[in-house]
Amino acid sequence: MTKVLVTRKVPDRYVEQLKEFAEVKMWDEEFVPMPRKEFLEELKDADACFITLSEKVNEETLDAAPKLKIITNLAVGYDNIDIPLAEERGVTVTNTPEVLTETTAELGFTLMLATARRIVEAEQYIRDGKWKSWGPYLLAGKDVHGSKVGIFGMGDIGRAFARRLKGFEANVMYHNRSRHRIAEKELGVLYVSFDELLENSDFVICTAPLTPETKDKFDRAAFKKMRSDAIFINIGRGATVVEEDLIQALEEGDIAGAGLDVFREEPIAPDHPLLKLSNAVVLPHIGSASVVTRDRMIQLSVNNVKAVLQGHPPITPVTDK
């Protein structure tokens, strides 16, 4: 019997679709990851596995899964998977591009505005009973309209972000591993070097995936190059940032603020040093978390499993390019 392993609880309507052609083993928790030992054990006779970013796919994982034909990752990013190794073993990997682009850009935009206008700090100010009077610069923040915004990573999400900035009459520059001429033409974004991006931006937005080239890209030297009134936003992956260096930059005033949806180690604990900083806005990795988008991501993953197990090409394969 064909077996599909699902490592996180998803609604019954998706499980039912899988059950039409396979036996389904699903971890029955929504907020707790499947223990590694159980994951490896269940992989032994699995033909497909439907995973989240919590599951690491490395040699140990693939060694434990002799029958595996497809891994479908419930995310567009796939830095949790050793892609060349999966390819070598003949295992198809799929992700969830496009369906989450607009929702993730929207969250990034929310984070930028919230950080710029000190929304979390301002709400806390009232809750703490500090609001006694009006003051000319009480909780004064930074304008996004007319600002210079530097986008690091001009993929789908970077472009969706740039599109939104048009309505704010911002000057948008970008840095990417390769130039994106269509974005330049259609969105009027200017290609600059990484250093120029850091030196000139009011807002530096990281939408880049985690790769060997982007790992630790935002380190002490990078934050030193940024303007002291600049705000850093990260909706890509936490490991593009050296977190101690970011904390130091925020504490010492090298930059003015940061809005973060992603961290090196997730989840972060309530005593994480970033949570002690009033100029940092932190979110629990909710970039793609709208109900409609999560529905679409799950459906796309189901469709990928179905296609591959029924002998068709995957819909959204990831390849080692």
Number of residues that make up the chain: 321
- With CB under 6 A as the contact rule, the residue among 234, 288, 301, 304 that binds ligand 8YV is 288
81 near ligand 8YV, judged by CB under 6 A: no
290 near ligand 8YV, judged by CB under 6 A: no
Taking alpha carbons only, the member of 189, 249, 258 closest to residue 222 is 249
300 near ligand 8YV, judged by CB under 6 A: no
Q: Give just the sign of the alpha carbon dihedral 24, 28, 32, 36.
A: negative
Integer Cα distance of 57 and 262 in angstroms: 20
- Per DSSP, helices labelled H in the chain are 12-19, 36-43, 59-63, 83-88, 101-116, 119-127, 156-166, 181-187, 194-200, 220-225, 243-252, 291-309
- With CB under 6 A as the contact rule, the residue among 53, 70, 189, 258 that binds ligand 8YV is 53
DSSP string covering 200-219, please?
H-SEEEE-PPP-TTTTT-B-
> Choosing from 88, 244, 266, 312, which is the catalytic residue?
266
Amino acid in position 264: R
Active site residue 264: no
Binding map of ligand 8YV across residues 248-277, x = CB under 6 A, - = no contact: ------------------------------
Active site residue 285: yes
Instruction: State in angstroms the smallest separation of the CB of 136 from ligand 8YV.
Output: 40
Instruction: State in angstroms the smallest separation of the CB of 319 from ligand 8YV.
Output: 17
285 near ligand 8YV, judged by CB under 6 A: yes
Q: Supply the residues annotated as catalytic.
A: 237, 266, 285
Q: Which residues bind ligand 8YV (CB under 6 A)?
A: 52-53, 74-77, 100, 285, 287-288
